[in-house]
Chains A and B, each alone.
Chain A
Amino acid sequence: MPDIDLDSFRAETRAWLEENCPPEMRTPAASDDDQCWGGRKFTFQSEAQKLWLERMAAKGWTVPDWAPEYGGGGLSRAETRVLHQEMARIKARSPLSSFGIWMLGPALLKYGTEDQKREHLPPIARGEIRWCQGYSEPGAGSDLAGLQTRAVSATDEGGDYYIINGQKVWTSYADKADWIFCLVRTDPEAPKHKGISFILFDMDQPGVEPKPIRLISGSSPFCETFFTDARAEKKDLVYEENKGWDVAKYLLGHEREMISGMGHGGGGKTLPQMALDSVGVGAGGRLADPLMRAEIAMFEVRAAAYRAQAERFNDEWKAGRINPAVSSMMKYYGTELNKRRNELAMQAGGTGALEWESEESNGGKSARDWLRSKGNSIEGGTSEIQLNIVAKRVLELPG
Chain B
Amino acid sequence: MPLYLTDDQDMLRDSAKGFLAVKAPVAHLRKLRDADDAAGYDPALWKECAEMGFTSILIPEAEGGLGLGHVEAGVVLEEMGRNLTPSPMLPTAVAAVAALKKGGAQHRDKWFPKIASGDATVALAIDEGAKHDPAATAMRAERSGNGFKLSGRKRFVVQGHTADMLIVAARTAGSAGESDGITLFAVEKGTAKMTADPRRLADSSFAAVVEFDGVELDADAVIGEVDAGWAPLTAMLCAGRAGASAELLGVGQGTTDQTMAYIKERKQFGVIIGTFQALQHRAAHLYAELEVARAATLKAQQLLDDIVDEKSADRARRAVHTAKAMTGLATTLAVQEGVQMHAGVGMTDEYDVGLYMKRARTLAELFGDTNYHADRLACEAGY
A pairs with B? yes
Q: Give the B-binding residues of A (Cβ under 8 A).
A: 270, 272-273, 275-276, 281, 285-287, 293-294, 296-298, 300-302, 304-306, 308-309, 311-313, 315-316, 318-319, 321, 326, 329, 332-333, 384, 386-388, 390-392, 394-399
Contact of B374 among A287, A301, A326 (CB under 8 A): A301
A398-B264 Cα distance, complex, nearest whole Å:
7
Contact at B274–A397, with CB atoms within 8 Å?
A: yes
Q: DSSP majority for the A interface? A: helix
Contact of A395 among B283, B323, B329, B374 (CB under 8 A): B283
| Residue B325 interfacial (CB < 8 Å) | yes
Chain B min CB distance to A128 (Å): 36
Contact at B326–A301, with CB atoms within 8 Å?
A: yes
Contact at A306–B374, with CB atoms within 8 Å?
A: no
Contact at A309–B375, with CB atoms within 8 Å?
A: no
| Residue B308 interfacial (CB < 8 Å) | no
Chain B min CB distance to A341 (Å): 15
Contact at A312–B298, with CB atoms within 8 Å?
A: yes
Contact at A296–B378, with CB atoms within 8 Å?
A: yes
Contact of B322 among A294, A301, A395 (CB under 8 A): A301
For A321, list chain B residues within 8 Å (CB): 4
A176-B208 Cα distance, complex, nearest whole Å:
70
A299-B294 Cα distance, complex, nearest whole Å:
17
Contact of B284 among A304, A312, A315, A387 (CB under 8 A): A387
A226-B139 Cα distance, complex, nearest whole Å:
76
Contact at B293–A305, with CB atoms within 8 Å?
A: yes
Contact at B292–A387, with CB atoms within 8 Å?
A: no
For A302, list chain B residues within 8 Å (CB): 292, 326, 329
Q: Top 8 closest A-B pairs, CB basis?
A: A399-B275, A391-B280, A305-B296, A309-B295, A390-B284, A315-B2, A308-B299, A312-B3
For A286, list chain B residues within 8 Å (CB): 378-379, 383
With A275-B383, A311-B3, A316-B4 already in contact, the answer to whether A304 and B322 are too (CB < 8 A) is yes
| Most B Cβ at <10 Å: residue of A298, A300, A308, A394 | A308
Chain B min CB distance to A77 (Å): 12
Contact of A391 among B281, B293, B295, B296 (CB under 8 A): B281
For A319, list chain B residues within 8 Å (CB): 2, 4
Contact at A301–B377, with CB atoms within 8 Å?
A: yes
Scan residues 285-338 of chain B and give those whose CB is less than 8 A from a CB of chain A. Answer: 285, 287-288, 291-296, 298-299, 318-319, 322-323, 325-326, 329
With A272-B383, A305-B322, A312-B4 already in contact, the answer to whether A395 and B295 are too (CB < 8 A) is no
Contact at A305–B295, with CB atoms within 8 Å?
A: yes
For B263, list chain A residues within 8 Å (CB): 397
Contact at A390–B377, with CB atoms within 8 Å?
A: no
Contact of B296 among A304, A388, A396 (CB under 8 A): A304
With A301-B374, A397-B260, A398-B275 already in contact, the answer to whether A311 and B299 are too (CB < 8 A) is yes
Given A308-B299, A312-B295, A398-B275, 18 other A-B residues pairs in contact with their CB atoms under 8 A: A281-B383, A286-B378, A293-B383, A294-B374, A296-B378, A300-B374, A300-B381, A302-B292, A302-B329, A305-B292, A332-B284, A384-B281, A387-B280, A392-B280, A395-B287, A397-B274, A397-B283, A399-B272
| Residue B277 interfacial (CB < 8 Å) | yes
For B275, list chain A residues within 8 Å (CB): 397-399
Contact of A333 among B264, B277, B288, B373 (CB under 8 A): B288
- Could you name 26 residue pairs across A and B whose Cβ atoms are closer than 8 Å? A273-B383, A298-B370, A298-B374, A300-B374, A300-B378, A301-B322, A304-B326, A305-B323, A311-B3, A312-B3, A312-B294, A312-B299, A313-B295, A315-B2, A321-B4, A329-B287, A329-B291, A386-B284, A387-B281, A387-B285, A391-B281, A394-B287, A395-B280, A398-B274, A398-B275, A399-B276
